[in-house]
Structure 1
Amino acid sequence: MSNTNMQTQTSSVLQNDRVSSCSISKVQKKTQLSRIKCMNSLRAIQSQLKFLIETLQDFGNMPIFKRTFSQDLDLLENHLTKEIISQTDCKTILTKLRTTFENAFNSELQARIQNYTRYDAQSFYDAMIFNMDSLGKYMLELILHQQRTPQLLKQKKLMQTQEDHSNPIPALNVDSLKVDLVVIQNTCSEKEDSNSETASSKLVKECSLNSETKDVHAIKYKMSKAKERCMAYFRSLHSHLQVLLKDDLKGTRIEHGFKRAFMSLFGQDVDTFTRTMLLNVDQLQKQLDKDEFQEDGSMTAFWVVNNQFQKFIDSKFTLDYDSQMTDTYFVEYTGLEVQHFRDTLLQHLGNVKKSVAERTVIKDKSIRTDSTVQDDNAGQWEYNLLDEADIRPFMT
């Protein structure tokens, strides 16, 4: 076997080994990241449970709910921290947690939350269900990544076996030890070629790195612009909601009529609704304004705001006397017709939602690009993500 063929085969083996090892490393990082996301969602659920227990610890069957729900949460956490998790066990526990919570969240508990806390009961419920759904999604991701690692290891071993069979090492004999005169004569030229190849390889690598670095800068610029658009949409939403708050009309006939109209449209007292709305909108702003954008926290906060207006959005208007008076009072107070207020609200909510989705896509591209250019930064990024574990969009 000639030196050239041996070098080519050796290079092929090393290249396959590097590709396989790189694939395994990427899957392992994805596995670690999915596990972190799982724990983030779990911590958010634990935080909500703590709030509920501390606020209503002596109410009805709260002690039983606390004991059952806490035990199942601890059991799920134990499963999620195992090196290899069981899909069946984790799914069973998560389903039980959701059923226990839904059964406990009856009308009495909702009334208790409304009366003894600053928060809207439906917002609390929606946030809890969203965090459970997120946990289920990331749990499935974690399981799929874990299943890929053994497959890649098996594939790597198979590739190595095939290389060994296709490229057997020739038996050592006297002829193989003879020095080829031509090789000696061409030593200098081979060294020159080798140096030339090394310089060329370095140049190609530098060009590749420069291109990848430019990609990183381009994506970071897109992330910055996407955040600016997102915050602009949020400010438009916030400005639109301000028409529901008119301090200069307090105690007037117009405010009295508006309160009646608001109860008819939203099914809730205006003071309670707007107080909760301000808290929810404030939490949405905090999530959207973070430099380290988080899809989970932002979407949770968005859905809390969106769901608060759901009854109003879904309601249908008729042309009877009551509806006409409702629209009249609403116009006097806000300066907007009910239908126009609703259509504009839907537009602003849609813009915020789309901007969150846009930032999510750009962030995913950023993660993939950064992992190519700077794998060493992945650990720090995941550590920062872990610090953001407490997702409570309905609380201060």
Structure 2
Amino acid sequence: MRKILRERSRNLNREVWESPSVYGGEDVNQAHNLLQAVARVNRVGGANKDKGFVVDYVGIGHHLKRAIDNYDEREQQEIEETLSFPEDEIRQLEDDHRKIIALLKQHGLTDLNDQDAFFDLFYDEDVRFEFMLAFKKLTRSLNLVYPAKEALNYMRDYQSLTAVNILAGKHFRDERLSMKGIPPKLRALTDQYLQSRGIDEKVKPISILDKDFESHVQKHQRVKTKAAAIEHALRHYIEIDLVDDPELQASFSEALRAIFEEFKDNWDKIYQELEKLRQKAREAKNEPTYGLDRKKQLPFFRMFKRECFGEAALTDDMVSQMVALTQQVFTVVEQELQLTSFWESIPARKKLRAEIQKVLLSPDFFQIPNLMDNREQIISRVMEIAEKNNDRIF
């Protein structure tokens, strides 16, 4: 807009000098200055400035109209299309507010302070995404109108929706629901509101391994909300915390999938089973290492145990054999990974597979069940774990 108005005012000045009889010099200067003033209001001012408003305190509106009248019909239309007035933004704000409230009412939600109801509703990711888009539009339109008094009519609802935005982001571990994108002048108001409600956006969601996690979940009233809190905390734990332990990651992923497949829509049972799985995650954190390095070697140990013994408990002799197997295989892996650009070298990979097979075929491990029969799969799993943990191993 600023560029268009600036160009039009320059053209007007040029036309005056070429045809002085057509325009009065004072009128033209006034027209030029008015258009320049409007252009300056819309000067770029950073990512948080969408536009500026010209407030007519002294009745200059009719002069601006006369300035625009100096152009032909096509040029007038171009200029007027770049000029919008607060009434347009107020109508847009009304419409955006109406739409987000209608979206929530459509799904039976009428109390903007019923956080559990929001959590249950947002369990549907499609609805959650619809809310994100509607909230973004409401934020933009409110930012354009505020601090006009008309904006104050929507501020209470907006603050409630902002609190929902933050809390739902923590509940679902969804970073798209955050304070990002809220302009500074609205942040000043929403931050005060969040503080009054005891909501700190900077505090990370509580981990399922935290001793206070259960009491945090119990604050919710609905069983589905409690289950969802555990579910999404588990998913985050599996995807982030277990990324370097594919065996444990696969085990928990499968257990989580099985719960929802077996107890579909039975939220009482789902909640019970998810809580059991959460307890297993806490136990896994404190599992014995048998003298192995927890980060480097234990992932290999778990994989060998699963492939050879399944879920069976190990005797002391079995543990000793598995520890020895883990240590020997790890030594081979650690040595071979020292080669520069190891994973880009096909010959190097083949050599490592051959070295691993030598260890598996050693007479020291003949008594380990399923080791021989499953050796191809075991070798592949060793390679997978080694590649994911490359930086940690070497």
Shared fold per TM-score greater than 0.5: no
Bigger radius of gyration: 2
> TM class by shorter-chain length?
under 0.3
Q: TM-score, normalised by structure 1?
A: 0.21
Higher helix share: 1
Per chain length, whose mean CA-contact separation is higher, i.e. which structure has more relative contact order (CA < 8 Å, sep 6+)? 1
